[in-house]
């Protein structure tokens, strides 16, 4: 199944399109809606318009919908990966594009934008082909040792792979501008399915997981967490 999904690593795109020293950007817009199915339909149908306006400033786009955690039960998280932070911030005219404005007017009364977060990749993750969905657990934390935290997450990822969970990936993102979460980092554990993510969490009391997580409490302080299903809606090939 993993091969069928044809996952690609965004870090590969980053290195090939933006130079070794670029920091991949992640833009997350949090919305609330009482009509999640209608919003997803609108967002999916609007991707060609958004891609045209964004051009090469966006690598991939999608949406994450909550399973547990978060601030509000009707939150959804619209995300865009950019090849660099500068690319992420280089298109201020996106929302003034006439076609984009026309598309947004169709949904404006059915959703509310509650926050915008700009982040950069410290440890890059993976994105599936258009239309594929994965399960994610995201934990936002404060830390004084970002590099140590990234190393600890890598060791946990390697330990998972050595214990039957080579389909689990772990990424880490730092805050560029996140309002009341300024200076935080977001760790993201990704699995191909919710049941597979659950199986990973079932290992929390195992010897290998306990050892892998033993240093986390001294490195980071949790702020808020999210359990989500995330779907890729477009990829800039």
Per-residue pLDDT tens digits for 217-229: 999 999 999 999 9
Tell me how far CA of residue 2 lies from CA of 33, 58, 143, 163, 199, in angstroms.
32, 24, 33, 18, 17
Mean pLDDT (whole number) for 191-205:
97
3 band by pLDDT with thresholds 50, 70 and 90 = very low
DSSP state of 46: H
Mean pLDDT (whole number) for 110-114:
95
Determine contact, residues 48/144, Cβ cutoff 8 Å: no
Buried b (16+ CB within 10 A) or exposed e, 85-111: bebbeeeeeeeebeebeebbeebeeeb
* Cβ count within 10 A of residue 64: 25
Both tokens assigned to 155: 């060791």
Q: Which among 75, 82, 47 is positioned nearest to 62, based on CA atoms?
A: 47
Mean pLDDT (whole number) for 156-170:
97
Determine contact, residues 153/159, Cβ cutoff 8 Å: no
C-alpha 163/C-alpha 158 separation (Å) is 9
Mean pLDDT (whole number) for 141-146:
96
Q: Residue 41 contacts by C-beta under 8 Å, 6 or more apart in sequence?
A: none
**Is residue 137's pLDDT more than 70?**
yes
Which numeric CATH code is attached to 2-235? 3.30.70.100
Per-residue pLDDT reduced to its tens digit, 57-95: 999 999 999 999 988 888 999 999 999 999 999 877 888
14 band by pLDDT with thresholds 50, 70 and 90 = very low
* Burial class (CB within 10 angstroms; exposed 0-12, middle 13-18, buried 19+) of 196: middle
C-alpha 160/C-alpha 9 separation (Å) is 19
**Is residue 4's pLDDT more than 80?**
no
pTM: 0.87
**Per-residue model confidence (pLDDT) at position 50:** 96
Determine contact, residues 167/191, Cβ cutoff 8 Å: yes
Mean pLDDT (whole number) for 45-61:
95
**Is residue 109's pLDDT more than 90?**
yes
Determine contact, residues 190/126, Cβ cutoff 8 Å: yes
Both tokens assigned to 207: 């010897």
DSSP state of 189: E
Domain boundaries in the chain? Answer: 2-235
Report the mean per-residue pLDDT for the chain: 89
Per-residue pLDDT reduced to its tens digit, 16-47: 333 334 589 999 999 999 999 999 999 999 99
């Amino acid at each position: 199944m993993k091969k069928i999904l044809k996952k690609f690593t965004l870090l590969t795109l980053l290195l090939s399109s933006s130079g070794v020293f670029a920091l991949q950007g992640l833009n997350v817009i949090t919305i609330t809606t009482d009509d999640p199915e209608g919003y997803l339909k609108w967002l999916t149908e609007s991707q060609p318009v958004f891609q045209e306006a964004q051009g090469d400033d966006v690598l991939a786009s999608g949406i994450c919908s909550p399973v547990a955690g978060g601030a509000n039960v009707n939150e959804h998280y619209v995300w865009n990966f950019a090849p660099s932070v500068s690319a992420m911030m280089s298109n201020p005219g996106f929302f003034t594009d006439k076609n984009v404005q026309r598309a947004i007017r169709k949904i404006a009364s059915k959703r509310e934008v509650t926050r915008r977060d700009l982040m950069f990749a410290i440890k890059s993750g993976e994105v599936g082909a258009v239309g594929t969905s994965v399960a994610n657990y995201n934990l936002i934390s404060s830390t004084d040792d970002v590099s140590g935290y990234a190393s600890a997450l890598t060791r946990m990822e390697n330990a998972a792979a050595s214990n039957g969970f080579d389909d689990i990936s772990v990424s880490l993102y730092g805050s560029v501008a996140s309002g009341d979460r300024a200076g935080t980092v977001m760790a993201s554990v990704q699995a191909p399915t919710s049941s597979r993510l659950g199986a990973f969490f079932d290992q929390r009391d195992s010897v290998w997981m306990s050892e892998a997580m033993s240093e986390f409490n001294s490195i980071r302080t949790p702020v808020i967490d999210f359990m989500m299903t995330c779907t890729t809606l477009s990829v800039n090939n």
